[in-house]
């Protein structure tokens, strides 16, 4: 079996915008020697060659800062009038299944991905959506991941395309861009210029009506065929959270 990592590294990057920066403190082996001593073990009884254990502390990391999966709770406190699931309440059987890549690399920055775009791609490549699939939207914008412009560029899903996928039985979907919608700064600018209250975040807000999860900041989708693989996307079990980092992987036969 071949396993392909679709998750970005978790590390400090000064080029990330302030709201995405991760801060991790790496503690060397020698510092643990004193902790063990405080537990009562004399230095003379330390195993030969033992310098202590390495340890690390995540001092700052938002649940949306890296490759992650959003729970229904992220989009709205309710879905169709019922309480939305937090990330620890998302069923794990949603998080493993047959994968399908939808290639939208041809879409221009700020041009939304429509239902017709998806239907045309599926028809031209003789592919079909099946209930329980995990659908990955490939935009090629992961090349900007780790740069100052990552959240400012790219295409994104429209509300109608999101509705379409959910209506085909897709509970989990994902994208290799910063966000699921068109870039956030662009949406803010357009909403202010047009006065259109329905413009901002409309793909995310499909979650007010229909239950689903999406992943953001995927990487390496170019390494996948369009079909013939499985996807696993198990989130950290953070009680009450709107999302969680996940090690997203694709698995296929050699």
Q: Which two tokens stand for residue 189?
A: 């600018």
Mean pLDDT (the chain) is 95
Encode pLDDT of 26-62 as tens digits: 999 888 777 787 788 888 888 888 888 899 999 999 9
Question: Which residue do the tokens 């357009």 mark?
Answer: 190
For the segment 108-115, the average pLDDT, to the nearest whole number, is 98
Residue 222 above 90 pLDDT? Answer: yes
Among 224, 254, 113, residue whose Cα is nearest residue 177: 113
Domains annotated for the chain, with CATH where assigned, are: 23-60 (no CATH), 68-252 (3.50.30.50)
Q: Are 134 and 98 in contact (CB under 8 A)?
A: yes
For the segment 101-116, the average pLDDT, to the nearest whole number, is 98
Residue 250 exposed, middle or buried by CB count within 10 Å (0-12, 13-18, 19+)? buried
Q: Which two tokens stand for residue 114?
A: 């429509």
Element (H, E) at 119: helix 115-124
Distance CA 156, CA 175 (A): 8
Residues 6 or more apart from 106 whose CB is under 8 A from it? none
């Amino acid at each position: 079996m071949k396993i392909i990592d679709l998750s970005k590294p978790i590390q400090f990057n000064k080029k990330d915008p302030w709201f995405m920066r991760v801060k991790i403190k790496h503690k060397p082996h020698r510092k643990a020697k004193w902790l063990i001593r405080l537990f009562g073990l004399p230095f003379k009884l330390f195993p030969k060659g033992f310098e202590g254990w390495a340890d690390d502390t995540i001092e700052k990391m938002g649940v949306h800062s890296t490759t992650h999966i959003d729970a229904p709770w992220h989009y709205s406190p309710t879905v169709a009038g019922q309480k939305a699931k937090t990330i620890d309440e998302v069923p794990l059987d949603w998080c493993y299944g047959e994968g399908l890549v939808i290639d939208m690399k041809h879409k221009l920055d700020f041009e939304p991905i429509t239902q017709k775009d998806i239907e045309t791609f599926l028809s031209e490549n003789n592919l079909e959506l099946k209930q329980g699939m995990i659908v990955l939207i490939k935009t090629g914008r992961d090349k900007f991941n780790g740069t100052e412009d990552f959240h400012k560029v790219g295409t994104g899903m429209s509300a109608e395309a999101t509705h379409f996928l959910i209506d085909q039985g897709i509970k989990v979907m994902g994208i290799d861009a910063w966000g699921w919608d068109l870039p956030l700064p662009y949406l803010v600018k357009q909403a202010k210029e047009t006065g259109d209250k329905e413009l901002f975040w409309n793909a995310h807000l499909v979650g007010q009506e229909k239950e689903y999860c999406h992943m953001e900041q995927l990487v390496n989708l170019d390494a996948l065929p369009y079909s013939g693989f499985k996807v696993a996307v198990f989130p950290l079990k953070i009680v009450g959270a709107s999302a969680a980092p996940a090690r997203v992987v694709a698995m296929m036969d050699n």
